[in-house]
Amino acid sequence: VKVLVTGNLGYIGTVLTPYLEARGHRVRGLDVGYFADRLLEPTVGPINQIFRDIRDVELEDLADIEGIVHLAGLSNDPLGEFDPTLTEEINLGGTLRLAELARRSGVRRFVYASSQSMYGISETDEELDEDESEKRPLTAYARTKWAAELELMAGRKGGFEVVAMRPSTVFGTSARLRCDIVFNNLVASAYTSGAIEVKSDGTPRRPAIHVVDVCSAFSAGLEAPADLVDGRSFNVGVAEGNHTIRELADAAGEVVAGSSVVYTGEHGGDSRTYTVGFSRILSELSEYYQPAWSLVDGGHDLCRLFDRVGFDAQTFRGTACNRLGRLEELASTGWVDDQLRRVS
């Protein structure tokens, strides 16, 4: 299948592109390029690369494309709060523009990278279900993800199929690494300083999933028959994939021998806690989605990357691995304007 991956030069896209190509798909990348040169080590991109803002996608970008995996956007809550109006323009407006052009171009399958942040703060210990659980998006990022999902599902017609994947918090190795996500942050902290700093009391729960397993989910979204996926949303995770922050910190400590866990408690119990159910994807897409990575295996793989590239505290805290810091850098140097559009 000829697949367009938007945001292919980001953390997940850098892993997804070769993953899909290894499965026989022909990948075209489309990315604005914010993180294009933020590489920790060399990687192979798609042969066909388009540098374009998702707000400016053109019909010709989709020529001959049969499937889309749409990753592009401002990718987490802090980035979303960078400018809530821009977040809506990019994450919602850009997504709906892409979907409309995809319908016009004859794209068959649109796989949307949605988010579990739409569930907000959970008031129950019960596992959150895709359809029945209440949606309480609290941030601009979460609101745009939920709004885009609703609009995309409402726009299915004329053979245009839509699948929404809602990944857990992602961890694991990528040549364009992020250290502003929880488990990667804990492992990088342990590796560079010997200390794992936890700012809550360790009790909040977070679902976690390895980046390769997320790629497996997006691949499943492309490859599974329409009667299994069209018009449906899937929480993406693994069995026993909900962890307390304490469990994540302990796993990071197991990976980095000699490191210690320090609980500062400055955020107290941290209200951002939720438990997500994954029975739908694990049972109904089991032929296509087979997650294989544990926290500890992913942590060891991160440390092998750190060894290869001479990873240090400066890299850990720098803009190469932190998305909000990178956008602030691009804005301060004039690479982007106040609308986050490329100037050059």
- Return the domain boundaries, the chain: 2-177+207-242+274-294
Contact between 32 and 51 under an 8 Å Cβ cutoff? The reply is yes
Which residues, in sequence order, are bridge partners of residue 70?
A: 6, 112
Cβ 264 vs Cβ 198: under 8 Å? yes
Amino acid at 335: W
CB 340 within 8 A of CB 86: yes
> Does the 2-177+207-242+274-294 domain belong in CATH 3.40.50.720?
yes
Q: For residue 139, give both structure tokens.
A: 């941030």
Phi-psi region of 202 (alpha: psi -120 to 50; beta: other; left: phi over 0): left
| Residue 2: C-alpha distances to residues 131, 192, 215, 320 (Å) | 31, 41, 16, 30
pLDDT tens-digit series, residues 116-136: 999 988 777 789 999 999 999
Q: d(Cα 274, Cα 257) in Å, to the nearest integer?
A: 30
The pLDDT value given to residue 281: 99
pLDDT value, residue 269: 55
The Cα 337–Cα 113 span in angstroms is 26
Q: What is the pLDDT of residue 141?
A: 92
**Cα–Cα nearest to 199, from 242, 245, 258, 257:** 245
The Cα–Cα gap between 233 and 115 comes to 10
Task: Say what the pTM is.
Answer: 0.96
Q: Give the pLDDT means over successive 10-residue stretches in the chain (344 positions).
A: 98 98 98 96 91 98 99 83 88 98 98 96 86 93 96 96 98 98 97 92 92 99 99 98 96 96 73 87 98 98 99 96 93 94 87
- Whether the CB-CB separation of 109 and 68 falls below 8 Å is answered with yes
